[in-house]
Amino acid sequence: MKILLLTLLILVGCSTVRPLEQVGTRTESRITKASAEQFDKVPHLDGLPLAVAIYSFTDKTGQRKPSTTLSLFSTAVSQGVDAYVIKALKDIDNGQWFRVVERGGIDNLIKERQIIKQTRDLYGDKTELSPLVYAGLILEGGIIGYDSNTRTGGSGVVAFGIGPYTQYSQDQVIINMRLVSVQNGEVIASVTVEKNILSTGDGITGMTFYNLGTREFEVDISQTYNEPGQYAVRNAVETGIIELLYEGERKHLWKFKQEIKK
């Protein structure tokens, strides 16, 4: 009886519980592919690349990782989102849309230039440093919302004491992006993007009585997959930048290059 029950549990469990490594790989590949497809669909800029500066793109929510049992000090979302913003700006149309200037580490950059200048003055080198590129636009914004368990649920079925079940919960991250004109400080374009973060749990449970109901055998096998929050944040950043491009075109801030039909 024990061997039969264990065999049934293993067979049903193998068909129900998803390998965690496979789920994570599919998620990462799906998001990366989706981002590349979005970037490929963006029209070319009709003109020279736009110089843009990013000083910071921070988490403004202060949210901690959700937990039902522990007090966690880790934040719910990444604190280095500006790296995603810079990468997305450089990837749009292979860098033909934006010239991204360094501002997050501007103090280090200026110190290094001062060292170069002092060394050249000391040894009589008359070579002049190139002037820093100044930005006509500043991209401001950050993560403005993080809501846990915006949707929860699950399902399951049990027959003869054996059956699989599935549970899920959904979080939501919200970011805001705005382009500011350096000439007059006006916010010329602004977008807000929402992305969902999904967590799922699959498992199987089984229970039976034997020896005339005097003994009980019970087993519960489960596995939980939490979609990494940085995937949703990165996807939201890339979607927000694309939305900014289309909003700027609608407001006649720049023009898309017209494709020549052959």
pLDDT in tens, 5-28: 444 444 444 444 444 444 444 444
Task: Please report whether residue 258 resides in a domain.
Answer: no
Task: Please report whether residue 119 resides in a domain.
Answer: no
Q: Point out the least confidently predicted range of 62-66, 133-137, 140-144, 190-194.
A: 62-66
Task: Please report whether residue 261 resides in a domain.
Answer: no
pLDDT in tens, 197-250: 777 888 887 777 767 667 777 777 777 776 666 777 888 888 899 999 999 999
Size (the chain), residues: 262
Question: pTM for this one?
Answer: 0.70
Domain that holds residue 21: 2-104+136-250
Q: Point out the least confidently predicted range of 63-72, 94-103, 149-158, 182-191.
A: 63-72
Task: Please report whether residue 169 resides in a domain.
Answer: yes
How would you label 175-196 residue by residue, b for 16+ Cβ within 10 Å and e otherwise? bbbbbbeeeeeeebbbbebebe
Q: What is the CATH number of the domain that holds 146?
A: 3.40.50.10610
Q: Is 144 helix (H, G, I), strand (E, B) or coil?
A: strand
CB contact at 8 A, 154 and 170: no
In whole angstroms, what is the distance from residue 244 CA to residue 54 CA?
15
| Residue 51 reports pLDDT greater than 90 | yes
Residue 190: pLDDT band by 50, 70, 90 thresholds? very high
Helices (H), 68-162: 81-91, 106-122
Residue 67: pLDDT band by 50, 70, 90 thresholds? low
CA angle 226, 231, 237 (to 5 degrees): 145
Task: Please report whether residue 111 resides in a domain.
Answer: no
Intra-chain end-to-end CA distance of the chain, in Å: 74
Q: How high is the pLDDT of residue 254?
A: 92
CB contact at 8 A, 137 and 90: no
pLDDT in tens, 117-168: 999 988 888 888 888 889 999 999 888 887 777 777 777 777 766 778 788 7
Ramachandran sector of residue 196 (left: φ over 0; alpha: ψ -120 to 50; beta: rest): beta
Task: Please report whether residue 67 resides in a domain.
Answer: yes
Task: Please report whether residue 65 resides in a domain.
Answer: yes
Number of domains into which the chain is organized: 1
Largest Cα separation within the chain, whole Å, is: 100
In whole angstroms, what is the distance from residue 203 CA to residue 16 CA?
7
Q: How high is the pLDDT of residue 207?
A: 74
- The DSSP symbol for 17 reads S
Task: Please report whether residue 131 resides in a domain.
Answer: no
